[in-house]
Amino acid sequence: MGHSGAISYFVQQAARAGLIGISMCQSDPMVVPFGGAEIYYGTNPLAFAAPGEGDEILTFDMATTVQAWGKVLDARSRNMSIPDTWAVDKNGAPTTDPFAVNALLPAAGPKGYGLMMMIDVLSGVLLGLPFGRQVSSMYDDLHAGRNLGQLHIVINPNFFSSSELFRQHLSQTMRELNAITPAPGFNQVYYPGQDQDIKQRKAAVEGIEIVDDIYQYLISDALYNTSYETKNPFAQ
């Protein structure tokens, strides 16, 4: 596999079939380990989806970093600063300048670090594929295969209780979470992934907003020649 795309897509296919989906995959090394100053792991995303009643689907998709690399690129395109908890510069110091980013930081420190390690083991080491900093970058040689590892797990609720009961209880969980009194400064309590589901439904009707820099890049010839190979944000 060269690039998995949004792994929530795969788990949602399982959920639409009445099953539970869990997916994870490796990505380009661009993250410093907790307490480290050298890049080793990728953002190594993890996704989960399960069916509720009717067409309800609970979907959760996350990078194991504080933020995905795409958020840094978005900040660059908008000429905006980033929180100093997202990334570090070439000296390993926190930075608010998206153009100075050399590496991303694990989510919740050692917890995100542990999750990205687990995902690398299950989708790389276990499958006999490249792992850790041996995973090749998709920004370097666009003509080379990457052997990027993925792991997809599908669970049938009927093997544990019943699919109908599972769906009922999951939808009940979603409703109960939404009914929780919000803390000061919050208007609503969402279940995990609900904010993205709302955005996805809105985009399906109104379209997707793309900043001009990205639009100009997409309509340029950069995607169709080797000039893109010079754009590796992690080139040393």
Q: Check 3, 143, 152, 169 and give the catalytic one.
A: 3
Active site residue 152: no
CB neighbours of residue 121 within 10 Å? 15
Q: What radius of gyration, in Å, describes the C-alpha atoms of the chain?
A: 19
Alpha-carbon distance of 211 to 74, in angstroms, equals: 8
Residue pair 86/105 in contact (Cβ under 8 Å)? The answer is yes
Both tokens of 111, joined, read 């917890």
Alpha-carbon distance of 168 to 85, in angstroms, equals: 39
Q: Which string of DSSP letters, residue by residue, matches 9-65?
A: HHHHHHHHTT-EEEEEE---S-BPPTT-SS--B----EEEEEE-STT-EEEEEE-SB
Active-site residue list? 3
